[in-house]
Amino acid sequence: MNLPSPNALPLLEVSGLCKSFPGVRALRDVSLALGRGEVLAVIGENGAGKSTLMKILAGVQEQDSGEILVNGAGVRFPNVRAAEHAGIALIHQELNLADNLDIASNLFLGREPQRLGFVDCRRLYADSLGLLAQVGLDCAPRTLVSALSPGRQQLVEIAKALGTNARMLIMDEPTSSLSQHETEQLYRVVKDLRSRGFSVIYISHRLGEVKELADRVVVLRDGANAGELQRDEITHGAMVRLMVGRDLGRHDRTARGHLDGKGPVLEACGLRTTAHPRKPLDFSICPGEIVGVAGLVGSGRTEMLQVLFGIEPAMGGEIRMNGQTVCITSPLDAIRAGMALVPEDRKQQGVILEMAVGQNTTLASLRRDAHAGFLNRKREGEIAVEMTARLRVKTPGLSQFVQFLSGGNQQKVALAKWLAMEPRVLLLDEPTRGIDIGAKQEIYRLMEELAGRGVAILFVSSEMEEILRMSDRTLVMHEGRITGELRRAELSEEAVMRLATAHTASAS
């Protein structure tokens, strides 16, 4: 561990960084410093401003105000090139490789060694070997990137960054799509880079990883610095405390629904998804119950909701509503059975960005209110007014395009569309991803209000805090299987993480 001495000039220093988007102040006066040979973890809940900060450091976006110093000299990054020139490279969360090209071509994309105007292939492949060795990847440089596993693609990305003479690597959720083995390999690479004097900013919300790798932790909350932990202060509890701003208290919610004696409203028996066809899913949910679905990214939670709602075909099994088997082959079938889904990707799936707020709000209920196919424009207007008022959607008017609303208000529009249909089962996929605290609270209140009226709510969330706060009962998924079910009394972050990583199954 070669910690930077206190007197040494930090390699990178950021102070007073601010950035706003329409309706959201993403960063407020954020400061941090990064030393040579240091692994700095930046953690925070979704929407805390981590991604925005990293995008600014990598030149993808420019700050509204604030300073960036590299080696003590002020710099501005109007574009990615400028950041690269200063020695900063971003390893994207979604891999950014051209997967139709081979490894070497990707490593040198845009800066191919040339000879007389032609690509100097001999040097291209020879130099690639050197870069690949640095990250411990033993693949032929001529291998197509599409043939590599996500973990290996990640290593290619890192090698590519090293090839640009980067001294600082920003890794954004690097392990989100990696297997256990690949994750360990990545740890080794990160540690090796550190010992060779590279600096790494490591973003993650897997706290175990942070404990393993970080020399120091900077915590962001609601777009501002929430605190900093030195190597010997990094504990799970300390990180969570800084992230959520208080000790994780239990909310005084009593479990409902299944206690009132009525049978389940929705049951899934042996349901199989196309992503994990060999892993049948069984669960049920009662009226008035809020059931959380926890698990890591890629554990099959979204696929489960999509099969329930008829987006993806089921590969087998049965769905019952109020004890009756229903056949669901399209979203329309699911809607008729009394379900509604607010999907994960708000901008692509939840709302139509270039359409008016009013028209978005009524899109699902048009059919029900129409006479022989003709729009019932009076009823449509009423629903738009009523639902946007009920959800307190902040918009200049109902004819405003949804794209000009803030994320939280867009999400409210996506929800408003379904409230008019009075669903019996509400499926929510990451209902508060990327929205501000105020809108979050409103959505939580709405969930509780609906549950109070007997709506069954099944929600997928990657935010531990949300699961702990909202669910009466929690299903935990791992690699397509429901690995456990936790009642309110058994619910804890440790219990969820144990099931989500399926450690019960392995030796630990």
Partner 1 sequence: MKKLLGIFGLFVFIFVATALLSPNFLGSYNLQNLVGWISLFGIISIGAMFVIITGGIDLSIGSTIGLVGSLLSWMLMQKGWSEPVALLAVLAVSLCIGLVHGLLITKLRLQPFIVTLCGLLIYRGLARHILHDETGGFGSAHDKLRHFAIGKLHVAAGISIPLSVFFLAAIAVVAAIFLNRTIWGRYLLALGRSETAARYSGINTDRMKITAYALCSLLGGVGGILFSLNLNSIQPSGLGEFYELYAIAAAVLGGCSLRGGEGTVLGVIIGTAVMRVLYNAINILGIPTHLEFAIIGTVILAGVIADELVKRIATKRRAVHALSREP
Task: Kindly list the residues in this chain that would bind partner 1 in the complex (CB under 8 A).
Answer: 22-23, 309, 311, 330-332, 334-335, 341, 343, 348-355, 359, 363-364, 366-367, 370, 373-375, 377, 394, 396, 400-401, 404-406, 417
Report, in Å, the least distance between residue 359 CB and partner 1.
7
Which helix or strand (DSSP H or E) is residue 475 part of?
strand 473-478
Closest CA to 279 of 259, 295, 256: 295
Report, in Å, the least distance between residue 135 CB and partner 1.
36
Residue 68 or 439 with smaller CB distance to partner 1: 439
Q: Are strands 168-172 and 199-203 parallel, antiparallel or unpaired?
A: parallel
Report, in Å, the least distance between residue 345 CB and partner 1.
8
Q: How far apart are CA 332 and CA 363, in angstroms?
A: 12
Residue 80 or 366 with smaller CB distance to partner 1: 366
Report, in Å, the least distance between residue 455 CB and partner 1.
18
Residue 131 or 337 with smaller CB distance to partner 1: 337
Q: Please, are residues 231 and 251 in contact by the beta-carbon 8 Å criterion?
A: no
Q: Which residues contact 352 (CB under 8 A, 6 or more apart)?
A: 359, 360, 363, 402
Closest CA to 144 of 98, 194, 210, 75: 98
Closest CA to 300 of 277, 316, 320, 327: 277
Q: Please identify which residue in the block is written with the tokens 């003590």.
A: 72
Report, in Å, the least distance between residue 24 CB and partner 1.
9
Report, in Å, the least distance between residue 245 CB and partner 1.
22
3-class secondary structure, 152: helix
Residue 278 or 371 with smaller CB distance to partner 1: 371
Q: Which long-range contacts (CB under 8 A, 24 or more apart) does 132-138 make?
A: 132/103, 132/107, 132/156, 132/159, 134/159, 134/162, 135/159, 135/162, 135/189, 136/185, 136/188, 136/189, 136/192
Report, in Å, the least distance between residue 366 CB and partner 1.
5
Residue 401 or 444 with smaller CB distance to partner 1: 401
Residue 438 or 452 with smaller CB distance to partner 1: 438
Report, in Å, the least distance between residue 50 CB and partner 1.
22
Residue 284 or 349 with smaller CB distance to partner 1: 349
Q: How far apart are CA 470 and CA 482, in angstroms?
A: 19
Instruction: State the amino acid at position 457 in one-letter form.
Output: I
Q: How far apart are CA 308 and CA 407, in angstroms?
A: 26
Residue 219 or 328 with smaller CB distance to partner 1: 328
